[in-house]
């Protein structure tokens, strides 16, 4: 686990400089305004898991008390610079989605946008997000998942094949789906949206 964590940290540190340029093209095409809609539903004390370069920082309601964690110091450097440019107050710190550095029931909302696909153990990450949610708190997820449109599924299977061989340290999963894991962790799913041939899925769930 530790060696995989360090490999992933190194990979995302290397990716940090060019990450936003790559995501600007891909996110607009595949996800539209989904990130904005997701973050707009956050309330109260909010944790963004795998905050990356801070692409969501300017999208939260003004009264949100925001904390963000990421495995990569390189990504966090860019997130802090973005927060300063936007005038956003956020506690941005290094942390692992699979071992969140917060007490139980610390947050009203936990958000993870386009990042669970890069977590080695999705079940553990969702369990950790559930743990730090207060009872009645909401989990908001957005990710690319296993497509339902078969030509797109074949394409993503090819991408996964190449990813596993060329950049295995990234740990990216192109064919996963967090929704069943959320249900298995005992959260109540309130709303789901799936689009783009099943490639994109948004999930809103509540901790009982």
Q: What is the mean pLDDT of residues 147-162?
A: 88
Separation CA 196–CA 30 (nearest Å): 7
pLDDT band at 128 (very low <50, low <70, confident <90, very high): very high
Q: Three-state DSSP class for 45?
A: strand
> What pLDDT shows up at residue 28?
84
* Helix (H) / strand (E) containing 134: strand 133-144
Q: Three-state DSSP class for 186?
A: coil
Separation CA 47–CA 118 (nearest Å): 18
Q: What is the mean pLDDT of residues 153-162?
A: 87
> What pLDDT shows up at residue 4?
82
pLDDT for residue 1 is more than 70? no
- Torsions phi, psi for 188 (to 5 deg): -90, 115
Residues 6+ apart with CB under 8 A from 134: 105, 106, 107, 108, 207
Q: What is the mean pLDDT of residues 57-76?
A: 97
Separation CA 8–CA 13 (nearest Å): 8
pLDDT for residue 54 is more than 90? yes
pLDDT for residue 171 is more than 80? no
Residue with tokens 């559930």: 130
């Amino acid at each position: 686990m530790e060696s995989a964590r360090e490999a992933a940290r190194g990979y995302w540190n290397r990716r940090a400089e060019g990450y936003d340029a790559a995501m600007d093209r891909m996110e607009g095409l595949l996800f539209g305004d989904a990130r904005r809609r997701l973050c707009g539903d956050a309330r109260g004390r909010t944790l963004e898991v795998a905050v990356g370069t801070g692409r969501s920082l300017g999208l939260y309601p003004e009264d949100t008390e925001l904390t963000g964690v990421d495995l990569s110091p390189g990504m966090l450097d860019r997130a802090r610079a973005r927060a300063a440019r936007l005038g956003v107050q956020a506690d941005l710190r290094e942390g692992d989605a699979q071992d969140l550095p917060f007490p139980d029931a610390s947050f009203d909302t936990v958000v993870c946008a386009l990042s669970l696909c890069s977590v080695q153990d999705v079940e553990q990450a969702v369990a950790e997000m559930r743990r730090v949610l207060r009872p009645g708190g909401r989990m908001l997820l957005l990710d690319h998942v296993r497509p339902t449109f078969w030509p797109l599924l074949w394409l993503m299977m090819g991408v996964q094949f190449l990813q596993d061989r060329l950049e295995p340290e990234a740990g990216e999963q192109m064919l996963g789906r967090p929704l069943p894991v959320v249900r298995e962790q005992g959260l109540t799913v309130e709303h789901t949206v799936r689009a783009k041939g099943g490639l994109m899925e948004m999930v809103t769930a509540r901790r009982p």
